[in-house]
């Protein structure tokens, strides 16, 4: 997947916003102020870091060369996926969607209500 395509996909989620709190090389994506993805280059390869369930993350890391434990993140709760790696695009989109939903599920009731008005699943 091309980095631009991934960025567009991440911004398509309700209330998704991007910023560069860690500097110009790492684009962070948030929903209601909570991070659900980070797109950055590492070792010459574009990657996206996504939140997931620890048991799922462990399995994904063991099955795909292009998935490693979250780079500079909590290794249990985050994975880093190479965009041009061996992970199929539909699976990459599903992982991004799950990351968004996982973070959105932890929002306050008022924040969830605002997201639901925009069509999001919480």
Domains of the chain: 3-105 (3.90.1150.30)
pLDDT at res. 122: 66
Whole-number Å distance between alpha carbons of 106 and 92: 22
Lowest mean pLDDT among 37-41, 47-51, 69-73, 117-121: 117-121
Mind listing the pLDDT tens digit for each residue in 45-97? Answer: 999 999 999 999 999 999 999 999 998 898 899 999 999 989 999 999 999 99
Sheet holding 26-31, edge to edge: 16-19, 26-31, 34-42, 45-51, 78-82, 67-69
pLDDT at res. 106: 93
Q: Which residue reads 């010459």 in tokens?
A: 44
- In eight-state DSSP terms, residue 47 is E
pLDDT at res. 64: 97
| 115 or 104: which leads in pLDDT | 104
Q: Which residue reads 């102020």 in tokens?
A: 33
């Amino acid at each position: 997947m091309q980095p631009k395509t991934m960025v567009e996909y991440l911004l398509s989620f309700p209330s998704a916003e991007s910023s560069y709190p860690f500097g110009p090389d790492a684009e962070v994506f948030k929903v209601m102020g909570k991070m659900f993805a980070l797109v950055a280059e590492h070792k010459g390869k574009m990657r996206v870091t996504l939140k997931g369930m620890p048991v799922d993350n462990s399995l994904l890391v063991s099955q795909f060369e292009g998935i490693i434990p979250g780079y500079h993140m909590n290794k249990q709760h985050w994975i880093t996926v190479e965009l041009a790696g061996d992970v199929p695009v539909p699976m990459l989109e599903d992982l991004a969607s799950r990351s968004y939903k996982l973070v959105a599920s932890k929002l306050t009731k008022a924040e969830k209500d605002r997201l639901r008005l925009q069509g999001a699943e919480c």
